[in-house]
Structure 1
Amino acid sequence: MIIVGSGQAGLAVAAALIAKGLQPQQDFVVIDEAAPGLRSWASRWHSMVLLSDARHSALPGLPFPGNQRRRPRVDEMIEYLSDVEVDLGVKTLWGVRATGLERRGSGSVLHLSTTEGEVQTRNVVCATGAATHPRTPTWAKELQVPGVVLHSSEYLYPRQIPTNDVLIVGGGNSGVELARELAPSHAVTLAVRTARRHKPASRYLRRQLFARGSRPEPVFGDNYEQLRDVGVSIRPAVAKAGRNAVTFVDGTVATPGSVILATGFDPGDDWLPDDARTVPPQRTMTGLPGMFVAGIPQYGGGGSDTIAGVFRDATIIARHIIERP
């Protein structure tokens, strides 16, 4: 079988399969389109920390090192996943991208197309992540500003923003964290489409492990009032843009120096066939026998994009694979 993706989802599935007695490189192979070791965490901004503490950011039996009550930094997460890969004995085939999948006829064999050729296998796990492709509003293409227009996935540190003022579009956790980081050095405006509730991360994430639904995720760090206290201006959503100006839904107009689009991501399931990208018949399963998805809430439910949640997905997938006729 083949696991597509060597991030937290792919390694969780590998750990669950090993717990069932399967051997890496013998019974299953892990592939990833990234350069060796460059998991998606490597592209996040430098000061980013996980929403959960170390206790809830590790796979069972593979604890995070150090203080268990701290929220790990991105670089610590990168190192942790690399250590997990070694501990499991997984040798990821890096630089190999999945491009398509199909079942020919009524047989049980799946044909996985990759950049290295086609592979036949009975089982494939899509572990390519819930936050894979940056999502940008259509109006962003029309915007021309003195500074920069970039997605939050491209942001690394405050000096990257050359102008004194910056408009951050998106009131979720990314937008709130970036507004707080930039507030001491820039005049920050945060455009919010849907006001998010503020909740403690640990309590919310624990509940989400067993929940389904699509209500907006609350913010876990500063709330909007706290942002106002440090000088951040909160505005309504952006309705449209033209050249150097943006128009908010209340009809007011602004001419930002720079713009950061904290507008979220689309999942990495775009290489799956249409009959697999439907409402799953059961958690982690798809409409294509032998095709499973780990780490994407649309298939596994709330919390699937967290470490604890994805291991729940992984154990279900491992059981299905072992029990599959």
Structure 2
Amino acid sequence: MVAGLTHRRAIVVGAGQSGLAVAAALIAHGLRAQHDFVVIDEASVGHRRWASRWHSMELLSDARHSALPIRQFPGDQRRHPRADEMNEYLAKVESDLGVEVVWGVRADAVQQRGDGSTLLLSTSAGDVQTRNVVCATGAAAHPRLPDWARGLTAPGVVIHSSEYLYPRQIPTPEVLIVGGGNSGVQLARELSAFHRVTLSIRTPRSHAALARYPSAAGGRRSMWSRTLHREPAFGDRYQDLQRAGVTLSPAVATADGGTLRLADGAEMSPGSVILATGYRPAVQWLPDTARAAPRRSTITGVPGLFVAGMPEYGGRGADTLVRVWRDAAAIARQITDRP
């Protein structure tokens, strides 16, 4: 397996939207897939994260803004594609590019070899030397769980939103959804037709019309106060959910078994709980010097190591399909310009 990865100018880690965008940009700069660069992914063959999202999930972006420049999303450009359609779309992009992803290979660490231009990438298939490594492992890779959730139990189920698939998965008449962001709002809307839903909100989000996505995607910092304003809730307003029968509650402060104490001191014992509390990026394999604040967009403190598709490294909205191309193009230029 390692033999298929050696002697490449670049190794792209991750075969999702970010990794394929980088592959397309490298090809546009004259590099050849499987010859000059290779794409690896730890997942089983073809299993991108879109494949495991809930069955009715639709993207916030319409089809026009849910595609890479190299291939239009099929069908009505005004509709919002489902997650399974996005998975199929990316598989077609992979085929169009002629990229043969090396599936089932995990990146474990990367380090610079001496003072030169060589990187040592440690993978589950062995160590590989290369001149450039692109981290495209995803901004929404691992569930982010609150500390208090460790002590949480419920008569029904306690799951993260990444594990939710369909309403029948929730066996109890009532369900608490923790998190007032877009996932929490979408799940509250879906489940309100079948369950008594309570939505627990720590920081209420501002609202933006769905048509403003992706231009209004991502959090932003105030220019003067540097206060972080979280990403707006697109589509339904909290008031819309209330009219659909959803109860709004304050944030959960602590959990003791099946009893939750809220920020206002009230207690509740929900039948089931869905933690729509967000995700962490898959950057645990990067060295500390790379995880520091980047000097420039997509560039880390390790020469030849780049990050694509993560707002912390590429700016607001870098995790959206329409904007990841900006990261990919910048990285491709850097790689082709490196000696």
TM-score (norm 2): 0.94
The match for 1:222 is: 236
The match for 1:236 is: 250
Quote how far apart the aligned CAs of 1:143 are: 1.3
The match for 2:316 is: 302
Contact 2:214 2:317 in 1 (8 A): yes
Pair 1:109-2:118 in alignment: yes
Quote how far apart the aligned CAs of 1:178 are: 0.4
Deviation track 1:131-188 (CA, whole Å, cap 9, x = no partner) reads: 0010111111211210000000000000000000000000000000000000011000
Contact 1:209 1:308 in 2 (8 A): no
- Rounded Cα–Cα distance in structure 2 between residues aligned with 1:185 and 1:290: 51
Q: 2:266 aligns with which of 245, 252, 255?
A: 252
Quote how far apart the aligned CAs of 1:212 are: 6.8
5+ residue gaps, structure 2, are 1-9, 223-227
Q: 1:209 to 1:199 in 2, by over 3 A?
A: closer
The match for 1:5 is: 14
- Rounded Cα–Cα distance in structure 2 between residues aligned with 1:33 and 1:202: 35
Amino acid at match of 1:131: A
The match for 1:24 is: 33
Q: 2:50 aligns with which of 9, 34, 41?
A: 41
5+ residue gaps, structure 1, are none
Amino acid at match of 1:117: G
- Rounded Cα–Cα distance in structure 2 between residues aligned with 1:61 and 1:275: 34
- Rounded Cα–Cα distance in structure 2 between residues aligned with 1:256 and 1:229: 21
- Rounded Cα–Cα distance in structure 1 between residues aligned with 2:14 and 2:174: 38
- What SS does the corresponding residue of 1:29 show, helix, strand or coil? strand
Amino acid at match of 2:33: P
The match for 1:79 is: 88
Contact 2:108 2:124 in 1 (8 A): yes
Q: Structure 1 stretches (4+) deviating beyond 3 angstroms?
A: 207-214
- 1:103-252 alignment runs, 5 A limit: 103-208=112-217, 214-252=228-266
Contact 1:211 1:303 in 2 (8 A): no
- Rounded Cα–Cα distance in structure 2 between residues aligned with 1:201 and 1:109: 45
Amino acid at match of 1:250: D
Pair 1:69-2:83 in alignment: no
Contact 1:189 1:235 in 2 (8 A): yes
Amino acid at match of 1:113: S
Quote how far apart the aligned CAs of 1:61 are: 2.7
Deviation track 1:101-140 (CA, whole Å, cap 9, x = no partner) reads: 1112111100000000000000000000000010111111
Q: 1:51 aligns with which of 44, 52, 60?
A: 60
Quote how far apart the aligned CAs of 1:201 are: 3.2
- Stretch of structure 1 that moved more, 75-84 or 211-220: 211-220
The match for 1:263 is: 277
Contact 2:217 2:231 in 1 (8 A): no
- Rounded Cα–Cα distance in structure 2 between residues aligned with 1:81 and 1:47: 18
- Rounded Cα–Cα distance in structure 2 between residues aligned with 1:118 and 1:202: 46
The match for 2:304 is: 290
- Rounded Cα–Cα distance in structure 1 between residues aligned with 2:101 and 2:321: 19
Contact 2:219 2:229 in 1 (8 A): no
Contact 1:210 1:301 in 2 (8 A): no
- Rounded Cα–Cα distance in structure 2 between residues aligned with 1:184 and 1:267: 32
Pair 1:322-2:336 in alignment: yes
Amino acid at match of 1:106: D
TM-score (norm 1): 0.98
Amino acid at match of 2:315: G
- What SS does the corresponding residue of 2:88 show, helix, strand or coil? helix
The match for 2:6 is: none
Quote how far apart the aligned CAs of 1:202 are: 3.5
After superposition, the CA RMSD in angstroms is: 1.4
Q: 1:124 to 1:277 in 2, by over 3 A?
A: same
- Rounded Cα–Cα distance in structure 2 between residues aligned with 1:28 and 1:212: 36
Quote how far apart the aligned CAs of 1:233 are: 0.3
- What is the number of residues matched between the two proteins? 325
- Rounded Cα–Cα distance in structure 1 between residues aligned with 2:17 and 2:45: 15
Amino acid at match of 1:165: E
Pair 1:95-2:93 in alignment: no
Amino acid at match of 1:253: E
Provide the identity percentage: 63
